[in-house]
Structure 1
Amino acid sequence: MPKNCLVGQVTEQDLADTYNPPFKSCVEDGGASGIMCSYNRVNGVPTCADHNLLSKTARGDWSFNGYITSDCDAVAIIHDVQGYAKAPEDAVADVLKAGMDVNCGGYIQTHGVSAYQQGKITGEDIDRALRNLFAIRMRLGLFNGNPKYNRYGNIRADQVCKKEHQDLALQAAQDGIVLLKNDAGALPLSKSKVSSVAVIGPNGNNASLLLGNYFGPPCISVTPFQALQGYVKDATFVQGCNAAVCNVSNIGEAVHAASSADYVVLFMGLDQNQEREEVDRLELGLPGMQESLVNKVADAAKKPVILVLLCGGPVDVTFAKNNPKIGAIVWAGYPGQAGGIAIAQVLFGEHNPGGRLPVTWYPKEFTAVPMTDMRMRADPSTGYPGRTYRFYKGKTVYNFGYGLSYSKYSHRFASEGTKPP
């Protein structure tokens, strides 16, 4: 969301039962020691300047006992972009008196002294923030002598890539994979029956595309294609188009590869050019010519193809969901450094997918709903469809919580006192 975006009106009911509960849970159940106020405005008030939110709700109602930091540049935006504060010193006063403790950025450092000299903030405002900040540092043991002799003092850089940590990365990738479609048992594949596979798509042989926003350097670098080569001797990779944006394609080469292989696995989706901080998607379909590439490859393949989606947010793949020539759809998110390995394990049945969608997948037309309309409940009188699985009344591509498995199971409700079969 752009940093000058003004969030629309949010009702007290929506705040109480939708927006605030996750944060309340983090504070009360998770024992969070730090929270961040954003650069947006809720009901006209920047969140970092909202005393009701920071002091009354968080510190009062939730008994939050930690520090509150701003999102980066959130304090500057209050004056420089949003015009909520008449002067830079007013912005400093607004946030400190609201209950914010530390500014990500240099705005308070630049204008704090003049705000104090002008009487817009007091020594108590500053002391209150310092008490919260130093209390956290004390909890962390930063004043208990030399830090290298404290609890976490011996953690070295060479421990980052320890086997147990890499195993955890693999487990996280495995657990996050969601099987969305599996017609006629298209998956899992059998090592003994797959003599050749064509791996097609812009996301199939680029390890960096497995990583989401704000990633660090990975310990290993294995692309999905490289991982699949460990299962099939005859594996061919064809990019099909220039990148996830897919505005320059080589569909002919992809179609030829698909028609020659026993099985086809398509790796499509998005990348950081479509979704990351400060970048908003304008549509919900696959970008560029990806849909055309998928359909033409599916038409040319000997057997129903497998479509693997690498993306963080939802994409409208109704065309693939309804196409019988696409036998399976797998959503892997941005699975991280072990994602290529995890995907290959799922495709060949070494790991039984059990992931579930964390969000509703809306159809393409949902982009007609303004992103600044934050109402949760549907409004039939205006055609507003609502948001999230709790209130959305329109059609979906896939529902929140949806996900298949290779296992077959059933359940029934039994009356109290009856014995299980």
Structure 2
Amino acid sequence: MIGTAVPATAATLVVVLLLTSGGICRLAVDAREPFACDPKDERTRGFPFCRASSPIPERARDLVGWLTLQEKVKLLGNTAAAVPRLGIRGYEWWSEALHGVSNVGPGTQFGGDFPGATSFPQVITTAASFNASLWEAIGQVVSDEARAMYNGGMGGLTYWSPNINILRDPRWGRGQETPGEDPIVVGRYAASYVRGLQGSDGSGRLKVAACCKHFTAYDLDNWNGVDRFHFNARVSKQDMEDTFNVPFRMCVMEGKVASVMCSYNQVNGVPACADPNLLRKTVRGAWRLDGYVVSDCDSVGVFYDKQHYASTPQQAVADAIKAGLDLECGPFLATHSGEAVRGGLLNEAEVDGALLNTLTVQMRLGMFDGTPSAQPYGTLGPNDVCTPAHQELALEAAGQGIVLLKNQGPTLPLSPRRHRTVAVVGPNSDVTVTMIGNYAGVACGYTTPLQGIGKYTNTIHQQGCVDVACHDDKLFGAAIEAARGADVTVLVMGLDQSIEAEFKDRDSLLLPGRQQELVAKVAMASKGPTVLVLMSGGPVDISFAKNDPRVAAILWAGYPGQAGGAAIADILFGSTNPGGKLPMTWYPQDYLASVPMTVMDMRPTGSNLYPGRTYRFYQGPVVYPFGHGMSYTQFVHTIAAAPAAVAVPLDGRRPANATNSGRAVRVTHVRCARLSLGVQLDITNAGARDGAHTVLVYSTPPGGGGGSWVPQKQLVGFQKVQVAAGARERVQINIHVCKYLSVVDRLGVRRIPLGEHRLHIGDVKHSVSLQAERL
């Protein structure tokens, strides 16, 4: 079990050895010629930018000095042109690695020695593990495989992943790509996964270059006639500061990501890729991005052609580069930047600045250091892709992310001795590619739910519906008969990319077509208990099944990756004790009637006509709440040690009236560096099974929960811990006061409320008083 306080399994130890042991034999790969600075090329030996021992900033400046304007502008698009006279090959910047090396971008292909790569669970499923060390371990494996494919001439080194937008609305088709609705969880995921991808040895060199996207307030694809290319997200300063920008700030400042991608949409009337306040002032200035800013594909053309923000193509590229854009996914910058310079709309020095940012990242990747096999990670090859350890980690990740929503009786786990025959029913019961979601590549192999269950007991298989659309009941009869003859029935239902995807937002939270009818009829006829397993990225209103006593248990599997069927079966039969928690709220269907996707406000209105969004602000009925998830054992929380009061040290240089009447203090007026609140928790496993438990620590600030602008509660800490049956483990949760106990006022100013903060850990509560102290 990958986790801070979780003992490593044998599979995990193998992964760690693969990642850290310099003595393991790897297959050397020389399939890729040097990108630049080929030691066999006499022309390049005298170029200062080829001296690997020189500081990278000096090398990058030297290289830019050799380039002509015509050569420079051809490097501004994702398909960067070669510069033959300088011995530099062309490069494709666009590759994807959302949850495994993907072939969605043109920079990566599968075939030959690389027929596939490890396909981990979709991000929303992995996020449900609430296990930051697992997130980083997955990133390490993905980057090993990415480097191997680069060395073999089949991939790039710049990966435009992860997607760290907030899952603000349950209908969003790309919600599956995100780590959920909580800004802190999403930011922690971003920083952890990026560290795994890029390497974190402190040298400044990069294993691969990650990219956090899509900046910012981007979470609508195509809803009710509004698409992402034309959408103007109207966002308050308050929501921008305490929701939408939080993950990106954490990704840049804590994860040290090498790239940020700006989004298609406008933010308060300005295209994100043309807004200097967002790109130059915030990302590069306040957050100190050490890397490059790239546009979403054709974004500059989009704000010219579709949004009509600029009067000419030349003005559009000038606006983008001046705002802080360094690279475009698409040809628009490369086509029109030269004209913009010659027309006086853009200085060549501004083009140079953009190139310095991209070339510096390429040099940090070792692309100007000669032969790939001589570089760090240069010996990774085909033997390092789809290894048994990597595939075991994919199985473990799926097991950690699957959430047990209901277990009446309890019905689960099943027993192969008592449940000798299982009816496996449903349109997702024997699927492969459905399990890996979108932005996926070619998996090493698949274990479907039917195959997974079949390893434990005998199965009777009926689809029940031709596909998830489930337009008719032609296959219902056979499914009902299978349920009548089996000891237990497992219905594997839900969604797929035909229902929720990029370009496709949902218009309903219900199961598609006649799926609900199939579940009800099969449950009614089943000889034994009925278990419902759901595959989906976004939440589904399954109130009917939650309230139906004939549906005895419910699992949410998300999109569980290549080993999803094995992970589902392991949980059904008790080989794995479920420990996942929902990373998003599951709303009832009628929530949609009062919440247009185009309204960005997180907080409810005073009239209650708009109920607000996410567990932090929404107070209405839910199907299942954020953080819900059951286990086959019982965990008991006890606070072993926690302070009753914490002094908040004010910066003595600030005027006495700077504390806002004493009710709250600006974070910028506080000495935050070591201001942390430590809570020691004892977690006791009071049941008969070993299990992994997710500790979720919430805080209700003063004034919270009363309908004000303060969150009713917010997650301030989480940790995964493995506890043996009957044992007790102590967990230390450190809560950074300025980061996690602060709130944002209506003007977008982050403040620490003074007074009583109530901490919630399960059913345990503890109050901490924060009081200002002038030094």
TM-score (norm 2): 0.53
Partner of 2:638: 412
State whether structure 2 residue 395 is matched by structure 1 residue 395: no
Partner of 1:238: 462
Conserved? CA contact 2:274–2:323, under 8 Å = yes
CA RMSD of aligned residues (A): 1.7
The unaligned stretches of length 5 or more in structure 2 are 1-220, 222-226, 644-679, 683-727, 729-775
Partner of 2:263: 38
Secondary structure of the 2:636 match is: coil
Which of 302, 309, 319 is 1:94 aligned to?
Answer: 319
Q: What is the alpha-carbon distance in structure 1 between the residues aligned to residue 519 and residue 616 of structure 2?
A: 32
Conserved? CA contact 1:7–1:374, under 8 Å = no
Secondary structure of the 1:308 match is: strand
Conserved? CA contact 1:73–1:105, under 8 Å = yes
Q: CA deviation at 1:416?
A: 6.5
Q: Render the CA deviation track for 1:95-117: whole Å, top value 9, x for unaligned.
A: 10100100001111122222222
**Residue type of the alignment partner of 2:579:** G
Q: What is the alpha-carbon distance in structure 2 between the residues aligned to residue 295 and residue 322 of structure 1?
A: 11
Where do 4+ consecutive residues of structure 1 move more than 4 Å?
A: 414-421
State whether structure 2 residue 583 is matched by structure 1 residue 358: yes
Secondary structure of the 2:560 match is: coil
Which of 204, 208, 211 is 2:433 aligned to?
Answer: 208
Conserved? CA contact 1:268–1:290, under 8 Å = yes
Conserved? CA contact 1:303–1:325, under 8 Å = no
Partner of 1:109: 334
Secondary structure of the 1:411 match is: strand
State whether structure 2 residue 281 is matched by structure 1 residue 56: yes
Conserved? CA contact 1:51–1:98, under 8 Å = yes
Distance change in 2, residues 1:419/1:109 (3 Å) = closer
Q: CA deviation at 1:201?
A: 0.2
Q: Render the CA deviation track for 1:314-368: whole Å, top value 9, x for unaligned.
A: 1111111111100111001111100000000000000011011111111112222
**Residue type of the alignment partner of 1:365:** D
Q: CA deviation at 1:278?
A: 1.1
State whether structure 2 residue 612 is matched by structure 1 residue 386: yes
Which of 471, 476, 480 is 1:247 aligned to?
Answer: 471
Deviation larger for 150-159 or 62-71: 150-159
**Residue type of the alignment partner of 2:350:** D
State whether structure 2 residue 444 is matched by structure 1 residue 219: yes
Secondary structure of the 1:35 match is: strand
Q: Render the CA deviation track for 1:62-101: whole Å, top value 9, x for unaligned.
A: 1111100001111111011111112211211111010010
Distance change in 2, residues 1:414/1:221 (3 Å) = closer
Q: Please state which structure has a larger fraction of its residues in helix.
A: 1
**Residue type of the alignment partner of 2:597:** M
Q: Please state which structure has a larger fraction of its residues in strand.
A: 2
Distance change in 2, residues 1:296/1:217 (3 Å) = same
Deviation larger for 108-117 or 406-415: 406-415
State whether structure 2 residue 306 is matched by structure 1 residue 306: no
Q: What is the alpha-carbon distance in structure 2 between the residues aligned to residue 419 and residue 56 of structure 1?
A: 41
Conserved? CA contact 1:7–1:373, under 8 Å = no
Q: What is the alpha-carbon distance in structure 2 between the residues aligned to residue 414 and residue 29 of structure 1?
A: 30
Partner of 1:185: 410
Secondary structure of the 2:627 match is: coil
Deviation larger for 15-24 or 154-163: 154-163
Q: What is the alpha-carbon distance in structure 2 between the residues aligned to residue 50 and residue 404 of structure 1?
A: 45
Q: CA deviation at 1:257?
A: 0.9
Conserved? CA contact 1:266–1:294, under 8 Å = yes
Distance change in 2, residues 1:419/1:202 (3 Å) = closer
The unaligned stretches of length 5 or more in structure 1 are none
Partner of 2:761: none
Partner of 1:73: 298
Secondary structure of the 1:185 match is: coil
Which of 283, 286, 289 is 2:511 aligned to?
Answer: 286
Which of 531, 548, 553 is 1:328 aligned to?
Answer: 553
Conserved? CA contact 1:207–1:337, under 8 Å = yes
**Residue type of the alignment partner of 1:236:** I
Deviation larger for 18-27 or 136-145: 136-145
Q: What is the alpha-carbon distance in structure 1 between the residues aligned to residue 548 and residue 523 of structure 2?
A: 9
Which of 168, 171, 183 is 2:393 aligned to?
Answer: 168
Q: Render the CA deviation track for 1:30-78: whole Å, top value 9, x for unaligned.
A: 1111110000111111111110011111111111111000011111110
TM-score (norm 1): 0.96
Conserved? CA contact 2:394–2:563, under 8 Å = yes
